[in-house]
Amino acid sequence: MASEQKTSPFGTDISLLGEEHVRRYRETDGEVGYLWNGATVLLLTTRGRKTGQPRTTPLIFCQVGERYVVIASKGGAPQHPAWYLNLCADPRVEVQIRNERFAALARTAESPEREELWAAAVAQWPNYEAYQARTQRRIPVVVLERVR
C-alpha cells in the first residue's frame, strides 16, 4: 500500500513519520524506513523518564568509526526532544539498524568531538544547519556506543 507523499517546508517526504515509521521499520527489518529522504535511519528505544515505559523513535544517523551518531534537533524547536531527555535520565538504550538490534550507552558529545561528529551528521543531513539557525539552544550531538 503506497502512501501519498507529503512534503515539509524543507522539501522532504514526510509521509512516513513517527509511530508509522517505527511500525513499518520493525515489520520489514528496515527494508521500509531505513532509507528516508536519502538518509539512513535507526530506531532508538529509550525509557520514559516519567513512565519508565519504552519509547521508540526513528532517527537519522551516521556512523563514524564504531560510533553511531544522532542529533537531538527536534527540527530546531526551542526545547530538546523527549527522547533526548529520556536518555539523559537513563543512558541505557536499545538501537535497531535494519534487522540488527543491540544494547548501547548514549552520551552527549563534547568539544572537540562534537564538532567532528556534527560535520559528519550535516554531511548526511544538511538541514541540521537550518535547524540550528532556528534555535537559541546548542543542538546536542549524541553518541550511541554498543555495549559489548
Per-residue model confidence as pLDDT tens digits over 110-120: 999 999 999 99
Average pLDDT over residues 17-34: 90
Cell of 133: 539557525
- Tell me the domain boundaries of the chain: 18-146
As a whole number of angstroms, the distance between CA 129 and CA 83 comes to 20
Mean pLDDT lowest for which of 24-38, 39-53, 114-128?
24-38
Residue 85 clears pLDDT 90, i.e. is over it: yes
**pTM recorded for the entire structure:** 0.88
As a whole number of angstroms, the distance between CA 55 and CA 49 comes to 10
Full DSSP string of 66-109:
TEEEEE--GGG-SS--HHHHHHHH--EEEEEETTEEEEEEEEE-
Longest dimension (CA), the chain: 46
**Is the domain covering 18-146 a CATH 3.40.50.2300 domain?**
no
